């Protein structure tokens, strides 16, 4: 791939990290922090599905993520509906970053990456979750919280869950 295809109009390498982030976990944070040195701008995109009931509101998720990265001007947090590749193009991202915890994640992400590249030329970068975070998922955090368990060890430092 030519360098010019990887850089937006302002000469910046832009990546999109999409997900529901309901809630944003230490695993998500780890992926962002590890991918960040590769890019000039990193857009964390909260996917909103109107047909799906969320644990946290979009505004709560956005505020939580912005709190975690408040000191890094390279990070922007947005929300979107529709196709991920469409929002990637809207923000000028030439890369989509995804985290992989399990072999099933890899299979799914591989197929999506191939389609995204075929449709738009956008490349997908897969980062494997660090072993200490591989057991953490948003759904497990939600379930533990539902049963009154302390989930703070699974959330980025300085954040907490407060349901609306």
CA dihedral 142, 83, 62, 68 (to 10 degrees): 80
Order of strands across the sheet with 41-47?
75-80, 41-47, 14-19, 95-100, 123-128
The whole-angstrom separation of Cα 31 and Cα 37 is: 11
Residues 135, 143 contacting (CB under 8 angstroms): no
Q: Which of 2, 52, 53, 153 is catalytic?
A: 52
Q: Which of 20, 26, 28, 142 is catalytic?
A: 28
Q: Which of 26, 41, 138, 142 is catalytic?
A: 138
Whether 142 is catalytic: no
Whether 138 is catalytic: yes
Whether 52 is catalytic: yes
Whether 28 is catalytic: yes
Q: Which of 13, 33, 74, 101 is catalytic?
A: 101
The whole-angstrom separation of Cα 89 and Cα 64 is: 25
19 alpha-carbon distance from chain centroid: 5
Catalytic residues: 28, 52, 101, 138
């Amino acid at each position: 791939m030519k360098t010019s295809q990887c850089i937006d109009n302002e000469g910046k390498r832009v990546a999109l990290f999409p997900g529901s982030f309901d809630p944003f976990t230490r695993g998500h944070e780890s992926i962002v922090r590890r991918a960040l040195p590769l890019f000039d701008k990193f857009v964390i995109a909260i996917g909103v599905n109107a047909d799906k009931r969320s644990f946290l509101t979009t505004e709560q998720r956005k505020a939580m993520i912005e709190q975690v990265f408040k000191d890094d001007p390279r990070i922007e947090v947005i929300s979107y509906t529709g196709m991920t590749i469409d929002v990637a193009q809207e923000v000028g991202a030439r890369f989509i970053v995804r985290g992989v915890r399990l072999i099933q994640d890899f299979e799914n992400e591989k197929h999506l990456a191939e389609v995204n590249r075929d449709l738009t030329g956008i490349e997908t970068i897969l980062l494997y979750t660090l072993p200490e975070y591989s057991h953490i998922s948003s759904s497990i955090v939600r379930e533990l919280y539902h049963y009154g368990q302390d989930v703070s060890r699974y959330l980025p430092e300085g954040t907490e869950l407060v349901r609306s």
